Amino acid sequence: MELSGTAEAGKLLARARRPVVFTGAGMSAESGVPTFRDALTGLWEQFDAQALATPEAFRADPALVWGWYEWRRTAVRRAEPNPGHRAVAAIEARVPGTVVVTQNVDDLHERAGSAAPVHLHGSLFAPRCSACAHPAPVPDGVAEPGEGRPLTPPRCGRCDAPVRPGVVWFGEALPEQAFEAAVEAAYRCDVLLTVGTSGLVYPAAEIPQVAARLGATVIQINPEETPLDAVCELNLHGPAAHVLPALVRAAWGDAAPA
Q: Residues interacting with ligand BJW, by CB under 6 A?
A: 24-26, 29-30, 35-38, 42, 53, 103, 105, 121, 167-173, 196-198, 200-203, 221-224, 226, 239-240
Facing residues of 190 across strands? none
Binds 88, which of ligand BJW, Zn ion, none (CB < 5 to 8 A, cut-off by type)?
Answer: none
Helical segments of 16-107, H only: 43-46, 49-52, 55-60, 62-78, 83-94
Distance CA(135)–CA(166), nearest Å, equals 9
Binds 134, which of Zn ion, ligand BJW, none (CB < 5 to 8 A, cut-off by type)?
Answer: Zn ion
Is 121 a catalytic site residue? yes
Binds 159, which of ligand BJW, Zn ion, none (CB < 5 to 8 A, cut-off by type)?
Answer: Zn ion
**Distances 162 to 134, 148, 165, 201 between C-alpha atoms, Å:** 11, 18, 10, 28
* List 109, 121, 134, 242, catalytic entry: 121
Minimum CB–partner distance for residue 157 and Zn ion (Å):
8
Name which of 41 and 253 has its Cβ closer to ligand BJW: 41
Name which of 2 and 176 has its Cβ closer to ligand BJW: 176
Minimum CB–partner distance for residue 154 and ligand BJW (Å):
19
Q: Is 233 exposed, middle or buried (0-12, 13-18, 19+ CB in 10 A)?
A: middle
Binds 36, which of Zn ion, ligand BJW, none (CB < 5 to 8 A, cut-off by type)?
Answer: ligand BJW
**Cβ contact 30:118 at 8 Å:** no
- DSSP label at residue 162: B
Binds 132, which of Zn ion, ligand BJW, none (CB < 5 to 8 A, cut-off by type)?
Answer: Zn ion
Name which of 93 and 133 has its Cβ closer to Zn ion: 133
Distance CA(203)–CA(143), nearest Å, equals 36
Minimum CB–partner distance for residue 75 and ligand BJW (Å):
12
Distance CA(197)–CA(21), nearest Å, equals 12
Minimum CB–partner distance for residue 213 and ligand BJW (Å):
18
Name which of 134 and 237 has its Cβ closer to Zn ion: 134
- Kind and range of the H or E run holding 56: helix 55-60
Residue 164 CB coordination number (10 Å) = 23
**Cβ contact 73:173 at 8 Å:** no
Active-site positions read 121
